[in-house]
Structure 1
Amino acid sequence: MPSEARKRRNGQLQACESCRKAKVRCDHGDPICGRCVRRNLSCTYHPAPLTRPRGAKVIPSPPSSIPTATRSPTISFVSPVTPASETPTRTKSLFHKPPSAYGATRFSAIFSENQASFEPALLDVTEDEGSSTVPKVIKTGDRSAALMELAIDTLLNFPTLRVTEILTAGSPYVIDSWVSPTMIQNCLSQIWTQYGALLGGRRSRNSVAQMAIDIMRNTKSSIRTDNEDSDWQNWFGGPRLRWEMIGVVFTWAGFVIKHSQEWDPLFKLEEMKGMNRKSAAEVMNQCASNCLDLCDTDDAEVNDILVVLMKNRWKLQSIIVSDECDRLRIGTGMVVGAFITAGLHRLPHFTKITANSQYRTCLAASLYYLDKCESLFTGRPPLFSRDFCHCPLPLDLSEDDIFNGPDNLARAVAKLDANGWNTDGKIHPTTWLRALCLQLPIREGIVYFSLGVNVQFTKVDIDNLTTQLNDIVDSYPAHLQFATRSQNLSKTRDPCSSSAREFYIKSRLQLDVLQCHFLLQRLSVSRGFVSGQKLLDIAVQMMNVVLSLWLNRDELIHFSFAFDWVVVCYGIPCAGVLCVELLKTAKAHSASERPPLSFSKSDVIQSLTIFIAYLNWIRPSDGNAELCWRLKKVVKRIVDSVLDGTAESAAMPENVPPPPPSPPPPKEANEETTEVDFLSDLDPQLLGLDDLDWLNTIDWTQGDWLDMNQQSSL
C-alpha cells in the first residue's frame, strides 16, 4: 500500500500497528518504519485499524475439517489475538529481568530496584508487553525457512498415537523427578486432541507445517512461573504448546524406549522402521536437540521447561553413550548455566504449597544433588556451592497428590508428618529424592576434603561426617530402611509389582549410603588414619547389594536399564578393592606371611565370579557396555591368576625361575566383535601373569588416591 493512502480520517498519517499499540510516535516509514527496524519488530499497517472491535480475533486457523492436502505450509501468517487476561506477559522492566532474580552487583540493579520511580519514563523506551497480542508476520528468509524445515522434519518424527500409548504404559518405571508422568500424559492428551488430524495416519509435511507455525508463535511468548492456580500446566501445553514441551516429550519417549527390552513388540511396529532400542532413542535425542535449536531465538528467555529439556536431553545422551564420555561434561555445564539463569538455584521461601512450587523445588533439589554425584563420579570440582544456593527439600508427595487440584494437594500436605515424610508407608519418586538430598552435607564434605586445594583434615573430621551420615540414615522413615539380611524376590514373580519397585529403590538408596561410607574410608586410609579393614568390609557390602540386583534381574526387568550404571558407579570401585586385597593375600600366603587384612578368600572369589557373569550380561545396546566388558577382562584375569596360583610367583626368590605364563583364556562368543582389548596398549612386562605388581599402581589404599599421576603407567 503506498504511503499516501495511509491516512487517518483526521488527515494525519497512519501509524503502524506496533507503534500504535505501544503508543509511541511512528515515522511512517515504507514499507517498515524506523522504530520497528531498530527494534527488530514486525511492522504492519492495518487497512482499517479502528474499525475492528476491541478484543476481536483476527483470521483464525483453518478448521480441522478441511482436508490435510489443502493446508499450505506458508511461512507468512497472522497471529491470533488472545484476551489480555489470558496472555502470558513479561513484567515491564527497562532491562527485561525482574530484580529479585539478581543481586545488587548487577549492572542494572539501580534501575531495577527503583523501577516504580521510572514508570513514566519507561513508556517510550520499553516495549509494550501487549505487543505480544499484535498481529505479527514471520518473513520468509534464509533463517526462517531453515527453521521451518527443521520444525517440519522434527514433527514428522513425533511418535504416533499407537506408539505413545505403548510408551505411556512404561512411563511409571521412569523414576525421575524431571519427568512427571502426569504432565506428560496431560500434554499428550492435549496434543492429540488439538493436532490429532495433523499428526494422524495421513501425516505429511503440509499437515505438520500448520502445527509448527502454532508452536513457533507460542514459543515467542513468556511462561508464567509465578502463578498458583490449578491451570499452571496449561501455560506451556495445549493451545500454548511450545518447542520446549515438545522436546521434553521427545526425551521422555527416548527414556522409555531405552528402558525397553530388545524383544519388545514395540520395535516390530511399522512406524518404528526396524529400529532397535538404541537407534530409536538416538532419533528421539536428535529431535530433542532440534527443539532446543528451535527455542534459540533472539528474544528467547530461559524458563523452567527449557531447563528441563536441556537436563533431560543431557541424561538421555548419557544413557546412549558411555558415562565416561568427556562430551557429557560440557552438556552438564550448559545445564547448570541455564538452571542458574532461570533462578532455580535460589528459590524463594514459598508461603503456599502449590503444584508449581513443588515441581520447581523438585527440580532444584534434584540438580543440586546430581551436581555432587557428578563431581564424585568424575573427580572434578562441583559447579554449585551451598553458599550461593537455596534449594529446599521437596515434600514427600505423590504425582496424584501434586497434580489433582489444590484441594487434594492441601489434604495430602496436612497428612505429612512433622519432618515432611508421607505417613502411608509408600515410596514415591520424591521420597527417594528427599532421602538422597539429606545426604548432601556428607557428599559436600567429601568433595571438599578430596578435591579442595591444600585442604587439611583430621580423623576427627572424618569421624564426624561418618556419625552425621549414620544419624541421617536413622532418621529415614521405617519403609525406607534397608534390611541388612538377604532379600529375596523369588516369591514375587510379577515384575510390575510394587515390591519389585520398592526393592529397587531401597537397594539404590543403600548403595548411595554405602558409597558415602566407602569414600569416607578411602579418605581415612589415604591419610594413614586407619587400616584398610573397614574399607574392605564396606566394599564387600556394596558388592553384595550390587549382585542382589542382578540375581533378581527377572523380577527387576523393568529396571534393568540402570544395571550398567550400577556397575560403573558402585561395582567398579568395590571390585577394585576386592581385587587388590585378594592379590595381596595371595602373595602373603606364598611368602608365609600374615595377610594384611582379614576376609574370606572364598567369599570374595565367589562374589567376583558372579560379578564377572554380571559384566558379561550387560547388553551391547547399553551405554556403558564397552567399559563393563573391559573391566570384565581385568577382573577375570585377576581371579584366574589367584586360582591358578600364578599370583604367588611374584613373591618367589630371584633364583627360582617363574613358571611359564598360561595361555590366555579363549574368547567368548561376543568378545570377538564387541569387546575392546585395552590391555594390549600396556607394557607387556606389566601384564605377565607371573608378575602382577602393576596392580599396586591402582591400589586406592596407598598414597593420595586422587593423584592421577599414580596411574600414568596405566
Structure 2
Amino acid sequence: MSRLPACEACRKAKLACDHKQPVCTRCVNSKGICIYRTTPFKRKRTEQSHHSPEPSPSFGPRRNPYPNPGYLGSSSHAAIFKHITPDGDHSLSGHYAGHTTGAEVPNTQWDGDNHLVLQGAEALRNLLSTYSLPALKDLVIFWLARGANLALAEPFVAACTESVSQLFTTHDENWHLVYARRLLQNSACPLHIDSTSDIREFAAQFLDHNTRWETLGIFFAAVSRATIDVGLFPALYTTEEAQYALRKMSTKLSDFALEISLSLDCLNDLQLIVQYENFIVHSYVDGDQSYHSWRKLGDVISSTFALGYHENIQAKPGIPFFLMELRKTAFARIYSADKNIAIFLGRPPRMNKRFCHFQIPSCGPLSDSGTQPHSEDWDSDSRVGYRADTRWSALCASLKEEIWELLQDKHDAACAQKASAIQTRAEAQWEALPPQFRLETRLKHCPRAPFERDFLGSVRLNHLHVCFLLRLLLLNTPTEPDPVIVETAGQMLALVVEIILLRDQLTNSGTGLIWKVAYFGLPAAGILLLALLNPHHPPLNSTVTGLPRTKLLQDLSVFAAEVQIGTIVRPGDPNYALLSKATQTIQRFLDSVHAEPAPQLAPNRAPAPNTANSTSTPDPDPASGPSAVAATQGTSSEDWAALLNQDLWDFEAGFWQSLADHPSLLGLGCGSGSG
C-alpha cells in the first residue's frame, strides 16, 4: 500500500492526518489553510543552498490562453452572435449575471504572473518576519471598534482579518513560497453565485481554507488605514517613523495581493472590492494629487466597465439581492470618487452618466433580502453608515457632473436657467434627506456618536459644495465673488474649521480629515480671501451676507494656524505642499489685516479688477501701503486678475501662488508662513 502524505499543518503539529483532499478534516475544523507538498517524501540534498526553495513551491510560467472578455456591449461581435446561437448561449456576451463571477477555463493551469507571485511571497515573508500577526489583527480589531471600516469591503473586513490571523501558523524556511502558491490556486477558483446564494456562502469562498490573495489584499488595506487613524499602538509602533514603516509595508503587500489577483485574468466582484480599497489606501498614502492615485482610480473604473456594472444591475437575472446591493455600492462609490477627484484636480471625469445607468444602494446593512428603492428615495428610518454616505455622495456627484458639463458651455444663453434648475434639485435633495441626516445646528452641539457626527458634517459639506460650484460657475471672474457664494463659502469654511477642532471626537465616515480640508476648505478659503481683498465688494458689509467679517477672519486664522503647527499635516505628508502654500498666503493676508487699523484696510488696497469706471478711494499716503508696493514692483491688479482667471476652478497650488501675488500682499513677506 502506498504511503499517503500528511498536510503541512498536521505534519508540523505532529498530529494524525486523514489525508483528505483538498482539505483534511483537521483543517476543516480549525478553518486553517490545508497544503500538501508536491514531493512530500523527497529529502532535501545536503549540498542544497540554504536559500534555495524546495521543489514544491516552484511556479510554472504558463498563462491563461483564453482571455476573459468581460462585459461586451451592443456594438460588439457578441451582440450579433447571440442572435445566431440557437440555445441562447450568453457566454459570448460576457455579462457577469450567471452562476459565477469569474471565468471558467477548463484544463488550464492558472499560475498568474510568476515574478509577481515571487515578489508577493517575499513581501509577505518580510512583513510577518518584522511584525507579529496577532498584533496586526489586534490593530485592525481596535480600529474597527472605534467605528471605522473600509467603506466598500465593510461586510468582509472582520472575517478576512480572522482568516488571515489563523492562516500562517507555522514558519519554516520556505513557508512564504508554499503559502503563496496555495493562495494563488484559491484566487484562480471562480466565485460561484446563483439566485439562491447568500452572503455567507459568498464569503466562505474566500475565507478560512479558501483564503485567497484578495483576502490578504483586504486585510492589509485595513492595516494601512488603521495606521492612519490610530496614532499610537505600542504593540506595533510608538513613533511616527515606525508607524509610517508599517503603513508602507502593508500597502506594498496590498498592492502585490491585488496585482497577483489581476494577473490571473479572472476579474470578479472580490477583485473589484480590493481594487477600490487599494485606490483609497493610495489616496491616503500618496496624496490626492498623486499620479499614482489617479492611475489607480482609472484602473478601478476600467474594471467597473469590464464587469458591466455600469449597466442596469437589477435587469440582469440570477443575481441574489445582497450581491446586487454590493455591486450598486461599488458603482456608486467609484462614480462619486471619479467626480470628486476630477473636480479637485480640474481634469475631465471618466464615468459619464450618458454611458452609465445611475444606480445607488439602499441604506441598510448588506443582507440577503430586501426591496430595491427608487434611486433617490430614502426610508424614514434610514441608518447612518457607509452605505448612507455612499447614497448621498453619489447623488451629489450626479449634480456635480451636470455642473461640470455646464462649465464647458458657460457662455450658452441657457446656462443660467440650467444652473437654476440644478439648484432647485439640490435643495429638493437636501429636503428629501431623513431629518436625522441633516445638520441644522453647530456640529459641537450634536450629541451623537463620533461616526455619526462626522457623517453629518460630510453630508452638509457635500450639499454646500454643490451650491458653491453652481455659484462659482455663474461668476464672471473669481476675483469678484458675489454675496451668495461668499455666504456659502463662509458656511463651508466654518464647518471645516469645526471638524478640524473636533477631529479627536470624530470617526472617518467615508472621507478623511485631509480630504475635507483640501476639497472643501481650500476653495472656501480662497473665495473668502478674494472677497476680503476686494474693497468695493458687498461681502465686506456684514449686513449683506449675514457673515460678520470678524467671524470670517477668525475661521481663516484657525484654519491657517492648525495647518502651520502641524496638527493636520506635517512636512513629508502627501498634501503638505498644497496646504502649506495656501496657509502661507492666508497668513500673509491676516498679517496685513493686523498690521493696519481696520478703517484704513480698504482704502489702502488696489482697485478691484474690472472696475475701471467706478470711483475708488485714493491712497491717503501714496508713498506707503500695499498699493505703493505693487507700483514699485510693477504689478497691477488687472494683470494679477488676468493671471488668476486662467482656470476658474483651479484651487490647487497654482491658485494659491497667484493669490500670493496679489498687489496687496506682495510687500508683506512670508515669514509667518509654514515654510
TM-score by length of 1: 0.70
Q: CA deviation at 1:216?
A: 1.5
Query: Does the 8 A contact of 1:396 with 1:420 survive in 2?
Result: no
Q: Does 1:247 align with 2:214?
A: no
Letter paired with 2:558:
I
Instruction: Name the counterpart of 2:442.
Output: 486
What does residue range 186-585 of structure 1 map to in structure 2 within 5 Å?
Answer: 186-193=159-166, 195-198=167-170, 203-226=171-194, 228-230=196-198, 231-261=201-231, 263-268=232-237, 275-297=241-263, 299-349=264-314, 354-398=321-365, 402=367, 406=368, 409-410=369-370, 421-424=378-381, 426-451=383-408, 457-483=414-440, 485-489=441-445, 498-526=448-476, 532-556=482-506, 562-585=512-535
Secondary structure of residue in 1 paired with 2:151: coil
Query: Residue in 1 aligned with 2:576?
Result: 625
Question: SS where residue 300 of structure 1 aligns?
Answer: coil
CA deviation string 1:173-198 (max 9, x = no partner) = 43543231x412212323344x2423
**Displacement of 1:330 after TM fit?**
2.2
Structure 2 residues without counterparts, runs of 5 or longer: 15-36, 45-52, 93-102, 607-616, 662-675
Q: Distance in 2 between matches of 1:689 and 1:602?
A: 32
Bigger Rg over Cα:
1
CA contact (8 A) 2:221 2:250 kept: yes
Tell me how far apart the structure 1 counterparts of residues 176 and 467 of structure 2 sit (CA, whole Å).
54
* 1:64 aligned partner: 10
Deviation, 1:290, is: 1.6
| In 2, Cα distance between equivalents of 1:525 and 1:320 | 35
Q: How far did residue 267 of structure 1 move? A: 3.6
Q: Distance in 1 between matches of 2:84 and 2:207?
A: 35
In the alignment, structure 1 residue 605 sits paired with structure 2 residue 553: yes
Is 1:634 the counterpart of 2:617? The answer is no
Residue 110 of structure 2 corresponds to residue 153 of structure 1: no
8 A contact 1:75–1:213 mirrored in 2: no
Provide, for residues 18-76 of structure 1, a one-character-per-residue CA deviation record: whole Å limited to 9, x for no partner: xxxxxxxxxxxxxxxxxxxxxxxxxxxxxxxxx99xxxxx97743434269x9985354
Deviation at residue 507 of structure 1 after TM alignment: 0.7
User: Deviation per CA, 1:75-114, whole angstroms, max 9, x where unpaired?
Assistant: 54799xxxxxxxxxx9xx998557xx32232234444554
**Taking structure 1 as reference, are residues 376 and 75 closer, same or farther at Cα in structure 2, changes over 3 Å only?**
farther
Q: Quick check: 2:311–2:356 contact (8 Å CA) kept in 1?
A: yes
2:435 and 2:620 map into 1 onto residues whose CA distance is: 62
Alignment size in residue pairs? 577
- 1:649 equivalent in alignment to 2:604: yes
State the one-letter code of the partner of 2:586. V
TM-score, normalised relative to structure 2? 0.74
Cα gap change, 1:284 to 1:94, in 2 (>3 Å): closer
Amino acid corresponding to residue 352 of structure 2 in structure 1: S
Question: Contact conserved, 1:248 with 1:312, CA < 8 A, in 2?
Answer: yes
Inter-CA distance 367–240: structure 2 relative to 1 (3 Å threshold): same
Q: SS of 2:179's equivalent? A: helix
Once the two structures are superposed, what CA deviation does each residue of 1:295-318 show, in whole Å capped at 9, x if it has no partner? 353x52222222222222222111
* C-alpha distance in 2 between matches for 1:248 and 1:77: 24
| Structure 2 match to 1:35 | none
Provide the C-alpha distance between the structure 2 equivalents of 1:418 and 1:584, rounded to a whole number of angstroms. Answer: 43
Q: Aligned pair in 2 of structure 1 residues 606, 328: CA closer, same or farther (>3 Å)?
A: same
Give the structure 2 partner of residue 87 of structure 1: none
Distance 1:661 1:643, change over 3 A: same
TM-aligned CA distance change 1:153 to 1:330, over 3 Å: closer
Cα 1:424–1:441 change in 2 (3 A) is closer
Q: Aligned partners of 1:703 and 1:532: how far apart in 2? A: 19
Q: Is the 8 A contact 1:259 1:561 kept in 2?
A: no
- The CA deviation at 1:235 is 2.4
The Cα of 1:220 is off from its aligned counterpart by 2.4
Provide closer, same or farther for how the CA distance between residues 145 and 503 of structure 1 changes in structure 2, counting only shifts above 3 A: closer
Q: Deviation of residue 504 (structure 1)?
A: 0.9
Separation of aligned partners in 1, 2:210 and 2:408? 45
The alpha-carbon distance between structure 1 residues 520 and 423, as it changes in their structure 2 partners (threshold 3 A), is closer
Match of 1:125 in 2: none
> Matches of 2:413 and 2:520 in 1, distance apart?
27
Distance, in Å, in 2 between the alignment partners of 1:190 and 1:595 is 59
Q: Which residue does the alignment assign to 2:609? A: none
Counterpart code for 1:187: C
TM superposition shift of 1:258: 1.4
* Further displaced range: 688-697 or 351-360: 688-697
Distance change (3 Å), C-alpha of 1:153 and 1:393: closer
- Alpha-carbon distance in structure 1 between the residues aligned to 2:619 and 2:427: 49
What residue ranges of structure 1 are gaps of 5+ in the alignment?
1-50, 53-57, 80-89, 123-127, 493-497, 663-683
Query: Matched residues in 1 for 2:153 and 2:632: separation?
Result: 46
- The alpha-carbon deviation at position 367 of structure 1 amounts to 0.8
Percent of pairs with identical residues: 17
Aligned with residue 177 of structure 1, among 151, 173, 181: 151
Change in CA separation of 1:365 and 1:137 when aligned onto 2, cut-off 3 Å: closer
Q: Retained in 2: the 8 A contact 1:658–1:690?
A: no
Deviation at residue 335 of structure 1 after TM alignment = 1.8
Asked if structure 2 preserves the Cα contact closer than 8 Å seen for 1:302 and 1:342, the reply is yes
Q: Assess, with a 3 A threshold, how the Cα gap between structure 1 residues 476 and 176 changes in structure 2: closer, same or farther.
A: farther
Is the 1:612–1:636 contact (alpha carbons within 8 Å) kept by the matching residues of 2? yes
- Pair 545,107 (structure 1): closer, same or farther in 2 beyond 3 Å: same
Q: 1:146 to 1:459 in 2, by over 3 A?
A: closer
C-alpha separation between the residues in 2 aligned to 1:650 and 1:527?
A: 19
CA RMSD of aligned residues (A): 4.4
Match of 2:359, SS state, is coil
Seen in structure 2, the aligned counterparts of structure 1 residues 149 and 638 have a Cα distance that, compared at 3 Å, is closer
Matched letter for residue 150 of structure 1: G
Deviation at 1:138, TM superposition (A): 7.1
- Please name the residue that 1:615 is paired with: 563
- 2-side partners of 1:558 and 1:348: how far apart? 29
Report the alpha carbon displacement of residue 468 of structure 1 after superposing the two structures with TM.
Answer: 0.8
- Cα distance between partner residues in 2 of 1:686 and 1:564: 38
**Offset of 1:424 from its aligned partner?**
4.1
Hey, what's the Cα distance between the residues in 2 that align with 1:661 and 1:582? 14
Residues in 2 aligned to 1:333 and 1:259: alpha-carbon distance in whole angstroms: 26
Q: Is the 8 A contact 1:647 1:689 kept in 2?
A: no
Distance 1:463 1:419 in 2: 20
Distance apart, 1:170 and its partner CA: 0.8
| 2:660 is the counterpart of 1:705 | no
Shift of 1:654: 7.9
The letter of the residue matching 2:444 is N
Partner in structure 1 of residue 54 of structure 2: 74
CA distance in 2 between counterparts of 1:251 and 1:686 reads 54
Q: Distance in 2 between matches of 1:177 and 1:559?
A: 8
Contact 1:177 1:363 in 2 (8 A): no
Displacement of 1:470 in angstroms is 0.6
Q: 1:602-635 deviations in whole A, cap 9, x for unaligned?
A: 2221221122223223132753233222211110
